[in-house]
Amino acid sequence: MTYISNKKKLLEEINFNQIGVSFKGSGSYVPDQILTNQKISQKVDTSDEWIKSRTGISERRISNLGDNVTEMGYKAALTAIEMANWDIETVDLILLATSTPHDLFGSAPSIQAKLGANNAVAFDLTAACSGFLFALITASQFLKGGSFKRVIVIGADQLSSFVDWNDRRSCILFGDGAGALAIEATNEYDNFIGFDMSTDGKRGSFLNLPSKNNKEKIIDNIDFSSGGFSPIQMNGQEVYKFAVREVPLILDKLFRKTKYSSEDVNWLVLHQANQRILDSVGDKLKIPKEKILSNLEKFGNTSAATIPLMMDEAIRNNRIRQNDIIATSGFGAGLSWGAALIKWG
Ligand code: UT7
């Protein structure tokens, strides 16, 4: 009864004409454990100098047993809700972007339970490093369509559990963490300016976290594949070439579609994969370095978490301010990539 009346009251507050999106809060969480380049070089044949010069990464955070995606996502969501100053009962939807759920059946409902968001529906969405952007776009459509009023979008990943720690070509890149945004419907303005998204499964083999498919028997003549995953497999050069080609193209397309230009942008917030990718995309779009946000030196590539983790840091240290225009792009396994143009606030 309470659930139905709360829901009805919230939806009645929305004017179903001209619904727009407003950004209300951000949050993030990273595990305490720090793995520096110097420490990785005790495990594989690499060096701080090589990793820094080829990627820009100095260190990354690694989950210990207490820090799974549910825990990290919960902590990020909680800080976003605190910044938004929302009553938890008013959250309608919790969308968790992750490729490494604590529970393969979905981790978002556990986050819902920990938050006590009793009136929300919660589910997971998987699109690797594009996951947060795809989830943000999905959430914006629910808001603009009038289905929900308040949404928490979370990006959280624990790739350290799926990295081959003997493969120096990939293990140096990844770290663990979570970030979240609190967004809501408004009929006063629309700060979700536009988006574009794309996938190309034909190039999917460049970056995989494949299932193992070990053949076992249930009884005679009935086989099954036991569960489990092989470590991440990556063709770094191909992923690099894909990113520096497709990301400027999709952002340029988005600028033309929304009638904005790269000069209107206050901040470029890209998926934090490699500093050289960030620099190359910025050069191609003629966006100066001062406008390109980067924190991969401290956290490496946290997959679905990089964009909200970066945004939360910039919002809390007052770099991103009310009404700043942010061009953002996620890209990675699938292959998948997307872009969104938003105004903070
Ligand atoms: O979310 C998306 C996730 N994936 C990515 O973002 C990956 C994008 N790709 C990249 O960031 C880069 O391709 C890497 C950082 C992974 C690799 O950098 P690269 O400049 O493309 O190096 P490379 O693969 O061309 O390798 C150059 C050399 C090779 O040695 P030889 O064959 O020239 O003797 C590698 O064996 O560097 C060697 N190498 C290393 N050396 C020291 C590869 N990894 C390492 C390492 N330490 N960790």
Distance 173 CA to ligand 1 centre (A): 10
Please tell me the residue having the least CA distance from ligand 1 atom 25.
237
Residue pair 339/327 in contact (Cβ under 8 Å)? The answer is yes
Please tell me the distance from the alpha carbon of residue 199 to that of residue 182, in angstroms, as a whole number. Answer: 26
Please tell me the residue having the least CA distance from ligand 1 atom 28.
169
pLDDT of the residue at 283: 98
Taken in order of first residue, the domains within the chain and their CATH numbers are 2-190 (3.40.47.10), 193-204+232-343 (3.40.47.10)
pLDDT of the residue at 3: 46
Please tell me the residue having the least CA distance from ligand 1 atom 20.
54
pLDDT of the residue at 207: 97
Whole-prediction pTM value?
0.94
129 lines ligand 1 (CB under 6 A): yes
301 lines ligand 1 (CB under 6 A): yes
pLDDT of the residue at 330: 98
Q: Which atom of ligand 1 is nearest to the CA of 171?
A: 48
Please tell me the residue having the least CA distance from ligand 1 atom 21.
237
46 lines ligand 1 (CB under 6 A): yes
Please tell me the distance from the alpha carbon of residue 338 to that of residue 32, in angstroms, as a whole number. Answer: 31
Q: Which atom of ligand 1 is nearest to the CA of 168?
A: 48
Two structure tokens written together for 225: 């594949």
pLDDT of the residue at 17: 57
- Report CA-CA distances (Å) from 94 to 80, 86, 108, 136, 155: 12, 14, 7, 11, 11
Contacts of 100 (CB under 8 A, 6+ apart): 69, 157, 158, 159, 161, 162, 303
- Report CA-CA distances (Å) from 174 to 27, 232, 309: 20, 10, 14
Please tell me the distance from the alpha carbon of residue 182 to that of residue 27, in angstroms, as a whole number. Answer: 8
pLDDT of the residue at 1: 39
130 lines ligand 1 (CB under 6 A): no
229 lines ligand 1 (CB under 6 A): no
Q: Which atom of ligand 1 is nearest to the CA of 271?
A: 1
274 lines ligand 1 (CB under 6 A): yes
**For 16-30, how does the pLDDT look when each residue is reduced to its tens digit (9 = 90+)?**
555 899 999 999 999
Given a cut of 70, the residues of the chain with pLDDT beneath it are 1-18
pLDDT of the residue at 13: 55
